[in-house]
Structure 1
Amino acid sequence: MAKRDVWVRVGDDLVRGDTIVGVAVSDPPYDWETFKIMLKVTGHRDHLWLDSGVCDDGQGAGREQVNALADAFVDTLARGAAMPSGALIRFGSGEDDSGWVLSSLG
């Protein structure tokens, strides 16, 4: 199987998808803080953090929502790797594109 170029935008960083070796979700210490999605990336000393925009609602729905976002990231990464021209993945923060946005490189 050919190796595809999949790039992931995390804040100011742009990393290759094949260098991501772990995905986790933070536990915010306060209800008003948002959950963060942490990416462990080969070659980066520190983890890369992405603000999910989801707050803890005290009922568990916030945790479920951010876990679904982390799962969706893995799915989007796999779909990007299957694209023949490669892909760019970014987290959409607007109302029209909330969640993971997958764009073709070709």
Structure 2
Amino acid sequence: TAEDVEAKESIKPTETTTYGESYAQIARENVTQQTDARSTLYLEEVKLCKLRQEQVLLKNDILKKELEVLTMELDKVKLEMEVLSAKKQFYCAGGAPASPASFN
């Protein structure tokens, strides 16, 4: 990056620290550490994105299953209504001595 180039240019390779290391070597190590940190960060971001995608897929699967359950419950209610309608027709046709109060 531009910052890395600027950092390299601002450090003179002939100057040395009190410990005998050249500033150029320190700069190279710093750049390497920054690159390693960026690589690690990038890999962690990729992992996070994959986990988020998996989470979305799992949520979609859950929603599909919930929709299936609701569809089955609706079908059950429809069948119960058909049964009640058939019973009402049966009672209204005189199939029973008295029709239930709930159908009047």
Fold shared, TM-score > 0.5 on shorter chain = no
- Normalised by the length of structure 2, the TM-score is 0.28
Q: Compare CA radii of gyration and give the structure with the larger one.
A: 2
Structure with greater contact order relative to length (CA < 8 Å, sep ≥ 6): 1
Name the structure where helix makes up a greater proportion of residues: 2
